[in-house]
Structure 1
Amino acid sequence: MKRFIGFVTKEFYHIFRDRRSLFILFGMPIVQILLFGFAITNEINNVDIAILDNSKDATTQEIINKISASKYFNIKQIIQQENELESVFRKGKVKAVLNFENDFSKNLIKENQATIQIITDATDPNTANTISNFVNSILQKYQQDQNKGIEIKYIIIPEPRMAYNPELKSVYMFVPGVMTIILMLVSAMMTSISITREKELGTMEILLVSPIKPFQVIVGKVFPYIFLSIINAAVIVLLSIFIFKMPVQGSLFLLGLESILFIISALALGILISTISKTQQTAMMISLMGLMLPVILLSGFIFPISSMPLPLQIISNTIPAKWFIIILKGIMLKGVGLAFIWKETLILIGMTVFFIGLSVKMYKIRLE
């Protein structure tokens, strides 16, 4: 036991002496969570728009003032003629143009309806759709204010309520995803590189014929990364709570246990990668390209899985990150307990056992 503890201590010293490893372990997670939290967002604020007011009456001016007063839009330009639309959009600064029809106020009074054309730059479809929805929301609010005290038969007023994220903050979506990416990459990549380094230098065989048992060698190489990954997970959760004000509705203890389970799963995957890699460069490439792209694209982190073709939906079930993101969102945002996430937990346990079993089998083949 003393030999094993000494071996683990040696691994800790080895990690702390390697500045590149320290940066990957502690620098990359903090940088990524801050970038995703502050820079990457699907919300809109101060979007530049242009106005084409063909009517120029009191009603159109009132609507323009309401839109201008909103924090979501900044009126960048007033267009005089419709043939200016193309040149305005081509400059790339204006994302939408509101086109008020002729005699807007007169039509509103005489015919009880008037038209505002919302023209958006759909080179970014998501932003264009969001802008259109926000403008429609402002116009509906204006319409309701104008119709106060007027009896309108059979009117249906939808009252949307956003459960678990009423302010539609994108950070609530990104934090679980970023936490998953960081734990997967750091755990799998660092473990695969650490073990492959020993194989590349020819020292793994020396370790395996030492008085320490082969299983203890593998566990000793992996244990420091379990400990350091747990620290990473704690740092991410603390940053999300205190900087991004993200709530954790569920049990922190359950969140910790599920995170440890996912970390062990990622570490087992890292060991598996090291069995098929002869060099550190190969291990790093497999970890980055073979793990990062599936985690981002097929885990439901950014793109909804239900919108994907059926073959990709089936493949996504083999990605451990998909199940961990469901668990994180359930605990952090919905406040659910194990009774609601037991299926995802069992799937992660099954994947972890499979990765460990396959890794042990392949190590026996390679290092006997």
Structure 2
Amino acid sequence: MKQFIAFVRKEFYHVLRDKRTLLILFGMPIAQILIFGFALSNEVKDSQILVVDYARDDASRHIIDRVEASRYFEVCKEAMSHKDILSTFQEGKIKAVLVFPADFNNDLLHNNKAKVQVITDATDINTANMITNYLTAIITDYQNDVNENLSIPYQIIPETRMLYNPQLKGAHGFVPGVMALVLMLVSVMMTAISIVKEKETGTMEILLVSPFKPILVIFAKAFPYLILSLINVSAILFLSVFALELPVKGSLVLLFAESTLFIITCLSLGIFISIKTNSQQIAMLISLMGMLLPTMMFSGFLFPIENMPYPLQVVSNIIPSKWFYIIVKSIMIKGLGIAALWKETVILIGMTMFLLIISLKSFKIRLE
């Protein structure tokens, strides 16, 4: 045990003296959580919108005021012709146009119905749909306020409720995904590179012939990255709570325990890659390309797995980050406990055991 602690201490010194390693370990997670949390949000905020008000009555003005008061839109200007609409769309300055026909208020009061036109730039389909939904919700709220004292027979008004994320904030989806992405990349890549580096420099031969057991050499080199990855988890959670306003609704102890399990899974994968490769470049390439794309494509982080073809849905089950992404979302956002997450936990444990077993069987005491 004293030898193991001494070796781990040596590895910590080695990591802390390398500025590039520290930048990858701590700079990349902080940068990614800030970029994904702020810049790459899927929310629609401050979208430029054009208003064409042919009515210029109280009803249209009240709706325009509500649109301006919303944090989702910014009325850049008002136009009075369809020619202005087309030219403004072509300039790319606006995302949508709200058109009020003449006699809008008169039709609303006397005919009990009035039409309003919403024109969006559908080159970005998702943004166009979200803008349409937001504008429809604002107009519907105004209609309900006007008709709150009226009873219309056979009218069915759907009442919607967004559980866990009523404000539709993008951080609720991005933070768990960034945690899975960062821990996967850092743990796998740094572990694989650090062990392969010993092979390239020739120091692995010295370590293998030392009194220290060879397999403990591998574990001692991976242990510092377990501790440093847990520090990364703490930094991500700190930023998510205080910068992105995403509190942890579930057990913090359970979240750290599950994160530790996922980190060990990633370290096991990094050990396996290091055993199978003899070059830092190859180890880095496999770690980056082999882990980055599957984590982003098959974890449910960016694309819903249910929308994929069935063969790809099957492939996603062997990606550890998929199960960790489900765990983090369930704990942080839904506030669930281990009773609801035992299946995902068992799957990660099984993956860890499988990777460790094949790594130990593939590990050669004698270097070729």
Give your verdict on TM over 0.5. Answer: yes
Per the shorter chain, which TM-score range?
over 0.9
Conservation of the 8 A alpha-carbon contact between 2:214 and 2:365: no
Shift of 1:366: 7.5
**Residues 1-368 of structure 1 correspond to what in structure 2 (within 5 A)?**
1-364=1-364, 367=367
Return 5+ residue gaps in structure 2 as ranges. Answer: none
Given that 2:53 and 2:80 are in contact with CA atoms closer than 8 Å, whether structure 1 keeps it comes out as yes
The one-letter code of the counterpart of 2:4 is F
- Equivalent pair of 2:298/2:319 in contact (CA under 8 Å): yes
Counterparts of 1:95 and 1:79, CA distance in 2: 14
Farther-moved stretch of structure 1 (259-268 vs 24-33): 24-33
Task: State the number of aligned residues.
Answer: 368
Q: State how far apart, in whole Å, the 2-side matches of 1:354 and 1:51 are.
A: 61
Q: Distance in 1 between matches of 2:295 and 2:157?
A: 40
Question: Cα offset for 1:358?
Answer: 1.7
Alignment partners' CA distance in 2, 1:243 and 1:197: 37
Measured in 2, the distance between the counterparts of 1:123 and 1:236 equals 34
| Per-residue Cα deviation, 1:13-42 (whole angstroms, up to 9, x for no partner) | 111111000111111111211222222212
Distance in 1, matches of 2:77 and 2:276, equals 59
CA RMSD of aligned residues (A): 1.7
Rounded Cα–Cα distance in structure 2 between residues aligned with 1:241 and 1:91 = 39
Distance in 2 (CA, whole Å) between partners of 1:314 and 1:38 is 32
Shift of 1:152: 0.7
State the identity as a percent.
56
1:5 to partner: Cα distance: 2.2
CA 1:366–1:360 in structure 2 vs 1: closer, same or farther (change >3 Å)?
farther
Cα deviation code 1:25-83 (max 9, x no counterpart): 11111121122222221222221100122333333233222222222211112222213
The farther-off stretch of 44-53 and 218-227 is: 44-53
Per the TM alignment, residue 332 of structure 1 is displaced from its structure 2 partner at its CA by 1.4
What is the CA–CA distance in structure 2 between the aligned matches of 1:174 and 1:302, rounded to whole Å?
8
Q: 1:213 to 1:307 in 2, by over 3 A?
A: same
With over 3 angstroms needed to count, the CA separation of the structure-2 counterparts of 1:365 and 1:313, relative to structure 1, is farther
Query: Could you tell me how far 1:365 is from its partner in structure 2?
Result: 8.6
- 1 CA distance for matches of 2:3 and 2:173? 45
> Is the 2:179–2:233 Cα contact (8 Å) retained in structure 1?
yes
TM-score, structure 1 as length reference: 0.95
Q: Deviations over 1:216-267 (max 9, x none)?
A: 1111111111111111112212222233232222221111111110000000
**C-alpha distance after superposition, 1:124-158 (max 9, x if no partner):** 22211111111001100111111122121122222
* Aligned-partner residue type, residue 153 of structure 1: P
**Which AA in structure 2 matches 1:347?**
I
Name the CA distance, whole Å, in 2 between partners of 1:332 and 1:159. Answer: 26
Tell me how far apart the structure 1 counterparts of residues 366 and 344 of structure 2 sit (CA, whole Å): 33
Q: Matched residue of 1:250: which SS?
A: coil
Q: Residues 272 and 355 of structure 2 are in contact (CA less than 8 Å); yes or no, is this contact kept in structure 1?
A: yes
Structure 2: how far apart are the matches of 1:323 and 1:366? 36
Amino acid at match of 1:33: I
Q: Which moved more, 1:134-143 or 1:156-165?
A: 156-165
Corresponding letter in the other structure for 1:72 = Y
Amino acid at match of 2:329: K
Matched residue SS, 1:364: coil
* Contact 2:44–2:131, Cα closer than 8 Å, also in 1: yes
Distance in 2 between residues matched to 1:71 and 1:224, nearest whole Å: 45
1:205 Cα deviation after fit: 2.2
d(CA) in 1 for partners of 2:328, 2:358: 27
Output one character per residue of 1:282-334: Cα deviation in whole Å (capped at 9) or x when no partner. 21121111111111111011221111121211111111001001111111122
- Structure 1 range deviating more: 357-366 or 119-128: 357-366
Rounded Cα–Cα distance in structure 2 between residues aligned with 1:113 and 1:27: 57
Deviation at 1:92, TM superposition (A): 1.4
Alpha-carbon distance between aligned partners in 1 of 2:55 and 2:253, rounded to the nearest angstrom: 62
